[in-house]
């Protein structure tokens, strides 16, 4: 699972962070912290679906579920992504 | 008792002089929005009253009184002037919803500059387009967004000053970059405010159209007359209110009613600089004891999704008046708010170009759920026939929403684009670009846009801008962009794309294209759906028929296809 966490964290840093000095870890608030907005969340969801070959229903793609890498990992477990 | 009183009575007797008198303004006087929103309130004996209660995403709270605001805006104005910014120069604000954004806006106006707020999620291409068009001289930004500015600065030789409000000194700034700390700069107690007149340019807000690049709607200081009185009447702001406008000042709502309206009325306003999360929003209302809340249908529908149970966890009893803006507020959302909060969201209609509310629902007036309401007192509105552009007398017939020019906050120009500005006026009416009908009781009912502009989450996105950007992707041969229905955002962007020969469609390519647009333009412009097609429907003259694609998405009649190109 730590590989998955790292993959997602690296992807977020690469795709969503403009400030290279900003520190981001697994618990950093992504949605409430303004790093990933509600529109961009769609592309993050699409990344997870494409990468892990799953379908995340819209009802489960909530700001809460996407608010940190830790939360995303909890969500992915529901889809048996380890 | 609400501020406005019975709608029909005030509509009969209203004229803009009522607002001028309340603001002690007479024709020919100086009128500077920056001064009206800070110094004047202090002069009224409210120097120690809270002007801004700001909360960051981590819960940190900062409070500023009107006297703090007066001094801080003096300090910013003085700093800009000493730096080399002159009256009439365009100064861009490119920040999250931090206090520097709000006070920076007033500081620019106080020194006679033209404030050009831009949404901080804009990508490089969106920034270049708007800064180049406005020939912007300075940009005020924060470390978080400095990387984006650095990437484009070489293409903007006229951008002389890049002002960073939170430079921590860890890394040296580069050429043209200047550090400015609002908190630590030497305070300027007394400042000679620029003596702007009614028609002095104040704000430049960019807005998208169907064709061409975004246009800068230019406003003047006299807009205050509309913004002050509409805040008083429609938002019903009163002395003890704690007001929360959820809009970002990168868009017109965030300046007209997130800065000018409340502060010219001397009202305390709150700002939550955090991404959307229902629980956080409700907690904020409870903690700050918000009384008047101005939000957007997208947010309201997102709150609906979270359900009533989330509401019941919080004490929202401080709320007394709710308003909404951005796109039409559906009847279901109006009814839900009444049932859930015990208060009804009042829908308001206006645009970047109108500068203030023009058709709206009022406190005390019967609300017909789903209706836009009635014209603001002092605004002459109608719907024009779609063909001959004459006012439609018959009730219930769909036409183009049109306003008689002359209200104080009407935009005065599209920056560098007189031709497009002139095209917005037909038969002596300003045509908004939206369709509606008027019922027997005089209520307006929104039908839809009259053009291809996409209204997503209350923000207008131009298909041309996205299609142009898509062509810069190495795999894209052609594209057409339309709005598709979305339960929360009303519309989201959908792109139909034909790929270059030899390129295979795939999920990874779709994601790559989405991210390409998100970073180049903005998250709002990012297609949330990409459909790869072999070819796009075109007229015989080669013009892509967006209308057909859009109709398909909305399940509407495709209409006349006689000009369609043969396969």
Homologous superfamily of B454-554: ANL, C-terminal domain (3.30.300.30)
Task: With CB atoms and an 8 Å threshold, state whether A33 touches B57.
Answer: yes
Task: Select from B482, B480, B421, B415 the least CA-distant residue to B455.
Answer: B482
User: Within 13 Å and on the Cβ side, how many CA atoms surround B253?
Assistant: 23
Confidence grade of residue B563 (pLDDT, cut at 50, 70, 90) = low
Reported as a single tens digit per residue, the pLDDT across B359-416 is 999 999 999 999 999 999 999 999 999 999 999 999 999 999 999 999 999 999 999 9
- Residues of chain A by 3-state class (helix, strand, coil), percent to 5: 50, 0, 50
Task: With CB atoms and an 8 Å threshold, state whether B144 touches A40.
Answer: no
Domain B7-186+197-436, second-level architecture: 3-Layer(aba) Sandwich (3.40)
- Helical packing angle, A40-52 and B507-520, nearest 10°: 160
Q: pTM of whole model > 0.90? A: yes
How far is residue B204's CA from residue B453's CA, in Å, rounded to a whole number? 20
Judge residue B92's burial from the number of C-beta atoms within 10 Å of its C-beta, 0-12 exposed, 13-18 middle, 19 or more buried.
Answer: buried
> How confident is the model at residue B556, as a pLDDT?
85
Judging contacts by C-beta atoms under 8 Å, the chain B residues touching residue A22 are 144
Task: Select from A61, A13, A31 the least CA-distant residue to B274.
Answer: A31
Judging contacts by C-beta atoms under 8 Å, the chain B residues touching residue A21 are 143, 170-171
pLDDT at A18 over 90: no
Reported as a single tens digit per residue, the pLDDT across B513-551 is 999 999 999 999 999 999 999 999 988 877 888 889 999
For B80-91, give the secondary structure using H, E and C. HHHHCCCCCCEE
pLDDT at B562 over 90: no
Window 10-39 of A: residues touching B by CB (8 A cutoff) are 15, 18-22, 29, 31-34, 36-39
CB-CB: which of B96, B456, B514 is closest to A34?
Answer: B96
Reported as a single tens digit per residue, the pLDDT across B476-500 is 999 999 999 999 999 999 999 999 9
> How confident is the model at residue B567, as a pLDDT?
45
Largest CA distance in chain A: 34
How far is residue B63's CA from residue B268's CA, in Å, rounded to a whole number? 10
Q: Where are the domains of chain B?
A: 7-186+197-436, 454-554
Weakest-pLDDT range from A1-5, B134-138, B341-345: A1-5
Check: CB of residue B275 under 8 Å from CB of residue A38: yes
SS3 B565: coil
Closest chain A residue to B279, measured at CA:
A64
Q: What is this model's ipTM?
A: 0.95
Confidence grade of residue B564 (pLDDT, cut at 50, 70, 90) = low
> How confident is the model at residue B565, as a pLDDT?
64
How far is residue B281's CA from residue B179's CA, in Å, rounded to a whole number? 33
Rounded mean pLDDT of chain B?
Answer: 95
From A61's Cα to the closest Cα of chain B, the distance in A is 12
Reported as a single tens digit per residue, the pLDDT across A23-70 is 899 999 999 998 999 899 999 999 999 999 999 998 899 999 999 999
The residues with which B271 forms a beta bridge, in sequence order, are B54
End-to-end CA distance of chain A: 5
Reported as a single tens digit per residue, the pLDDT across B315-349 is 999 999 999 999 889 999 999 999 999 999 999 99
Reported as a single tens digit per residue, the pLDDT across B197-222 is 999 999 999 998 777 789 999 999 99
Tell me if B7-186+197-436 shares its fold with B454-554: no
Check: CB of residue B42 under 8 Å from CB of residue B65: no
Confidence grade of residue A1 (pLDDT, cut at 50, 70, 90) = low
CATH number of A2-77: 1.10.1200.10
How far is residue B363's CA from residue B551's CA, in Å, rounded to a whole number? 37
Task: With CB atoms and an 8 Å threshold, state whether B57 touches A43.
Answer: no
Q: Where are the domains of chain A?
A: 2-77
């Amino acid at each position: 699972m730590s590989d998955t966490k790292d993959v997602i964290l690296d992807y977020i840093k690469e795709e969503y962070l403009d400030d290279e000095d900003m520190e981001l870890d697994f618990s950093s608030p992504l949605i409430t912290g303004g790093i990933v907005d509600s529109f961009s969340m769609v592309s993050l969801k699409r990344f997870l679906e494409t990468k892990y070959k799953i379908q995340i229903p819209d009802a489960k793609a909530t700001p809460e579920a996407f608010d940190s890498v830790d939360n995303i990992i909890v969500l992915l477990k529901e889809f048996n992504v380890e | 008792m609400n501020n406005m009183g019975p709608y029909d009575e005030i509509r009969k007797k209203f004229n803009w002089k009522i607002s001028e008198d309340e603001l002690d303004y007479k024709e020919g006087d100086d009128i500077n929005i920056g001064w009206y929103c800070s110094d004047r309130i202090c002069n009224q004996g409210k120097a120690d009253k809270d002007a801004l209660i700001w909360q960051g995403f981590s819960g940190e709270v900062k409070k500023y009184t009107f006297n703090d605001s007066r001094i801080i805006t003096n300090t910013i104005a003085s700093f800009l002037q000493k730096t080399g910014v002159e009256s009439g120069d365009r100064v861009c604000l490119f920040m999250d919803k931090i206090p520097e954004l709000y006070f920076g806006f007033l500081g620019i106006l106080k020194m006679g500059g033209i404030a050009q707020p831009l949404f901080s999620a804009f990508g490089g291409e969106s920034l270049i387009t708007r800064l180049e068009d406005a020939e912007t001289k300075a940009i005020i930004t924060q470390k978080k967004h400095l990387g984006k500015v650095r990437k484009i600065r070489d293409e903007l030789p006229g951008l002389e000053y890049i002002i960073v409000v939170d430079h921590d000194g860890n890394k040296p700034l580069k050429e043209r970059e200047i550090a400015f700390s609002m908190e630590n700069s030497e305070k300027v107690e007394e400042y000679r405010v620029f003596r702007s007149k009614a028609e002095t340019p104040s704000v430049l807000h960019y807005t998208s159209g169907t064709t061409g690049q975004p246009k800068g709607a230019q406003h003047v200081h006299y807009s205050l007359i509309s913004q002050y009185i509409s805040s008083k009447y429609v938002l019903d702001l009163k002395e003890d209110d704690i007001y929360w406008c959820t809009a970002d000042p990168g868009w017109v709502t965030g300046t007209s009613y997130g800065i000018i309206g409340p502060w010219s009325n001397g009202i305390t306003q709150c700002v939550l600089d955090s991404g959307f999360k229902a629980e956080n929003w409700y907690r904020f209302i409870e903690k700050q004891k918000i009384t008047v809340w101005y939000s957007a249908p997208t947010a309201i529908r997102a709150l609906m999704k979270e359900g009533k149970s989330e509401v019941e966890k919080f004490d929202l009893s401080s709320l007394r008046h709710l308003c909404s803006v951005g796109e039409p507020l559906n009847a279901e959302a109006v009814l839900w708010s009444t049932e859930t909060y015990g208060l009804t969201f009042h829908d308001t209609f206006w645009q970047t170009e109108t500068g203030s509310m023009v058709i709206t629902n009022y406190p005390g007036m019967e609300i017909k759920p789903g209706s836009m309401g009635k014209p603001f007192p002092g605004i002459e509105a109608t719907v024009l026939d779609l063909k001959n552009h004459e006012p439609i007398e018959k009730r219930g017939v769909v036409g183009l929403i049109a306003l008689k020019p002359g209200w104080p906050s009407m935009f005065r120009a599209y920056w560098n684009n007189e031709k497009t500005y002139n095209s917005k006026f037909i038969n002596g009416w300003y045509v908004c670009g939206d369709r509606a009908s008027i019922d027997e009781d005089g209520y307006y009912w929104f039908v839809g846009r009259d053009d291809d502009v996409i209204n997503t989450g209350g923000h207008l996105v131009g298909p041309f801008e996205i299609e142009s950007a898509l062509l810069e992707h190495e795999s894209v041969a052609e594209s057409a962009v339309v709005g598709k229905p979305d339960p929360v955002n009303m519309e989201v962007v959908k792109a139909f794309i034909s790929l270059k020969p030899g390129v295979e469609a795939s999920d990874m390519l779709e994601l790559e294209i989405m991210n390409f647009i998100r970073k180049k333009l903005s998250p709002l412009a990012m297609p949330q759906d990409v459909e790869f097609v072999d070819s796009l429907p075109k007229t015989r003259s080669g013009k892509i028929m967006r209308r057909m694609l859009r109709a398909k998405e909305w399940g509407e009649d495709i209409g006349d296809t006689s000009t369609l190109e043969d396969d």
